[in-house]
Structure 1
Amino acid sequence: MAVLDALVAIENGRAADRVLKAAFDRRKWLPPARSRIARLTLGVCRHRAQLDWWLEQAGCRSAPLARLAAALVLIEGLDKGQLRKHLPHLPTPETHAAQFLMDHTLDHPDQPAAVRSNLPSWLMPHLKARFGDRLLAEATALCGEAGLDMRANAIKGGRDAAMAALAEDGIIALPTPYSPVGLRVEGRPAIARSRAWREGLVEVQDEASQLAALILGAKPGERVLDFCAGAGGKTLAIAAAMANKGRLIATDSDERRLTEAVTRLRRADVHNVTRHVIGAEGDKWLSRQKGAFDRVLVDAPCTGTGTFRRNPDAKWRSSAEELAHLTALQAKLLDRAAALVKPGGRLVYATCSILAAEDEDQIDAFLARHAGFRIVPLADAWAAVGSEVPEPGAGPHLLLTPARHETDGFFAAVLERLP
């Protein structure tokens, strides 16, 4: 069964999105079958803590096959006969566990908070410190499913043109509440088959990620650096804000990911981007760029806690040790990027994390190390976004969460180098 094969691969440490893509590339299933395979696979990842809790109550060892059987009963609501059709050769322990679970639902009052939230236990104190009384609502939203957001490409006509092109293919898209170039799509249509996608009028990108790129405030003619560009999602958004004018450099330590950006740049008709692979600490190119940029974006590697809706398998690979490693790396990247900002220029630090250790704490520590920078309050920085609505929330930083804003969890701080 395709779902079981995917769950075994995920259990062995592979990312769910890559596992599913490889499976769909091998087998040409029709879209309804693909959708069901993906939904069930990610559903097991999404609710793994509760599934494991119930399997323990049933006296069954947690493993991919047992979790799948439990999910079919507790999430899909299958009865004994339906379960046998889906899993005809289910071993005896898993069969007994499934029969036990047929008298229950996924939720139970005896489940600990981490189990009810389907989050790893080590993460709960961090989320409690962040959200306080809103912990349950935010944790529940993190366990939900994300919608589909897109960014309209201003280089090729903007949001109205994108909406019209999508409508030609029967895809209903509505403006997002905060991003002036964002679109939210109903359902899960085949975006890649649409004319809007093929012609580069749209790019799939969560609204929060769009805002992190827009708040940089890059203008046509400036010299801008996307310091941790990856596959180029925010690079594309910045290039559109610059109207293809000026110089935008995308750097990353992963050459493979930077190469992936090439196709996206061509489809979007972006011409002002050059790519550079960053090497070790002593990268000579970086040493020659001190004080050279008007704007620098550091979209730092992070735990990805804000994207657990999209990547539910990632929460089970996260750990306190990983957090410690990443916070040290984030501080190092910020220090390296700071030297590249010209006097009066701006540095934006962003993460798709909702943990203070990766967000506000990093900014406070950075300002303590770098007296030549100041924080730009969100109310002032928001003008660069070009949105008709007020900034989402008070405070000096941009902090978005699924429960409050219906976006991925995201953090961004705007820093300005003093003259």
Structure 2
Amino acid sequence: MTPAARLAAAIDLLAALDDQPRRPADAIANDFFRARRYIGGGDRRAIADRAWGVVRQRMRLEWWLAQIQCRPTPRMLVAADLLLAEGLEVPTVLRAFPGGQYAPEPLNVLEERLLRALAAFRDKAAGVQGLVHPAMPEGVRLNLPDWVIPGFRARFGEGLAEEAAAMEQPAPLDLRANLLKTTREAAAAALGAEGFETEPTRWSPWGLRLPSRRPVTATAAFMEGLIEVQDEGSQLIALLTDARPGLRVADVCAGAGGKTLALAASMRNKGRITACDVSAPRLEGAVRRLRRAGVDNAERHLFAPGDRWAKRRAGQFDRVLVDAPCTGTGTWRRNPDARLRTGFQDLQELLAKQREILDMAAELVRPAGRLVYATCSLLPEEDEDQVAGFLGRHPDFVPLPLAEAWASAGPPGEPPAGGPYLVTSPARHGTDGFFAAVLQRRS
């Protein structure tokens, strides 16, 4: 594809995202490219990179366009990104819209006038650095929605700007070696033979890292079940669950089974693990992944209204993992659209859901067993505050300090964070943002 054709496709993809604002961008992009199978792999990456670049900076781009009373259409967002983020001059931006077959239509008279007004506004301002203008409000300057700033400031303090900047960067691609079929070293060699050079992750003894997103799901290593895609922070949550061979384990919010797979591998297919979720399609996806990974000690349970499964299995599990539904603020570098489609009302609804799930999961834990509560959020309301509320309602549980839980799980070295709970973040650890608390039931 020509550069102009790629640009036109990126504009079309942005339009598709605008048409479905509450749907995850990855799912929309998958459908977009599935309907355009003629687009090759290299072109897909270029188109996606262009579109995701606009999505990552959309808050700032919309602020700039608002200063000249311009509606943020996909075409003007892309034009503004070329002008402001890439630093192109107006004539060069105009040439990027040449018209003709497979190319974006030329900017019309109004669009060109707005583009020139935008350039003039930029040029007369002092202190502009890329997309950051000194007159921007704090949230736009940090590229964060206003509703998360109090929680993020409580979490990061003076490091807030550094963490916000790290959340703007594309995430690396982390993989987990499936120890049921291979070792980390052998998995790395298999990937290397297919042209994918990796390096070991710092804390997870199972992890391998690629510096950027690559099509690993097309490799023989993936199709043979030697590896799974999983962020290192997510791997650490599975590690802290300490699911040993012979135990009974429940993964209460299993989704498509990412952590179930890791737990089953650490159990070496011995004992029993139950993957639970409210979504039948997600559990079906988990079944396919478990089969590919060679897991044979897992069963599944689909929660339904009025379900008494937890009551019937009260006190039967040695380990219960609650990877709770959350705002996902820790994954915004990987899912930049989520910061645009998640709001304060979502947080309030999720807090109630998390409390309900935790109370149900507590019933499953046997005396002296462990409940691991985890989120991919960095908001204290969903993390430490949620745990404090749970401990107030359930005095038969006590927190197991991170250092003790880390030593019990057995990985080499020190844990990645101090304090009573695991907290990882993009700037401090190079992982997605995760929280985990290990809570032990009294004997």
Q: Into which bin does the TM-score normalised by the smaller protein fall? A: over 0.9
- Which of 259, 262, 273 aligns to 2:284? It is 259
In 2, are the aligned partners of 1:72 and 1:83 still within 8 Å (CA)? Answer: no
Which piece of structure 1 moves more, 16-25 or 344-353? 16-25
In 2, are the aligned partners of 1:225 and 1:295 still within 8 Å (CA)? Answer: yes
Structure 2: gaps of 5 or more residues:
1-7, 123-129
Alignment partners' CA distance in 1, 2:425 and 2:333: 11
Match in the other structure for 1:383 = 407
Match in the other structure for 2:390 = 366
Match in the other structure for 1:128 = 153
SS in 2 for 1:154: coil
Match in the other structure for 2:27 = 18
Percent identical among aligned pairs is 50
Pair 1:97-2:114 in alignment: yes
In 2, are the aligned partners of 1:254 and 1:277 still within 8 Å (CA)? Answer: yes
Match in the other structure for 1:397 = 421
Pair 1:197-2:207 in alignment: no
Q: Write out per-residue CA displacement over residues 19-50 of structure 1, whole angstroms, 9 at most, x where no aligned residue.
A: 11111212121111111111111111110111
Deviation at 1:207, TM superposition (A): 0.2
Match in the other structure for 1:6 = 13
Match in the other structure for 1:27 = 36
Deviation at 1:90, TM superposition (A): 2.8
Alignment partners' CA distance in 2, 1:129 and 1:93: 45
Deviation at 1:102, TM superposition (A): 4.3
- Which of 245, 256, 259 aligns to 1:231? It is 256
- Which of 366, 370, 376 aligns to 1:342? It is 366
Give the counterpart letter for 2:46 in structure 1: R
Deviation at 1:94, TM superposition (A): 2.8
In 2, are the aligned partners of 1:69 and 1:94 still within 8 Å (CA)? Answer: no
Structure 1 residues 92 and 212 mapped into 2: Cα distance closer, same or farther (>3 Å)?
A: farther
Alignment partners' CA distance in 2, 1:91 and 1:258: 49
User: How many aligned positions are there?
Assistant: 418
Match in the other structure for 2:50 = 40
Which piece of structure 1 moves more, 118-127 or 405-414? 118-127
Which piece of structure 1 moves more, 242-251 or 103-112? 103-112
Alignment partners' CA distance in 2, 1:292 and 1:241: 20
CA RMSD of aligned residues (A): 1.5
Match in the other structure for 1:55 = 65
- TM-score, normalization: structure 1? 0.96
Deviation at 1:140, TM superposition (A): 0.9
Alignment partners' CA distance in 2, 1:384 and 1:47: 42
Deviation at 1:294, TM superposition (A): 0.4
Which piece of structure 1 moves more, 63-72 or 110-119? 63-72
Q: Mapping of 1:265-276 within 5 angstroms?
A: 265-276=290-301
Give the counterpart letter for 2:40 in structure 1: L
Q: Write out per-residue CA displacement over residues 216-264 of structure 1, whole angstroms, 9 at most, x where no aligned residue.
A: 0001111100000000000000000000111100000011111111221
Pair 1:329-2:353 in alignment: yes
Q: Mapping of 1:233-312 within 5 angstroms?
A: 233-280=258-305, 282-312=306-336
Q: Write out per-residue CA displacement over residues 323-378 of structure 1, whole angstroms, 9 at most, x where no aligned residue.
A: 11100110110000000000010000000000000000000000000010000000
Q: Write out per-residue CA displacement over residues 129-154 of structure 1, whole angstroms, 9 at most, x where no aligned residue.
A: 22111110111111211011000101
Structure 1 residues 385 and 117 mapped into 2: Cα distance closer, same or farther (>3 Å)?
A: farther
- TM-score, normalization: structure 2? 0.91
Pair 1:314-2:338 in alignment: yes
Structure 1: gaps of 5 or more residues:
none
Alignment partners' CA distance in 1, 2:232 and 2:117: 43
Q: Write out per-residue CA displacement over residues 122-179 of structure 1, whole angstroms, 9 at most, x where no aligned residue.
A: 2212211221111101111112110110001010112011001001101101100010
Match in the other structure for 1:172 = 197
Alignment partners' CA distance in 2, 1:386 and 1:143: 33
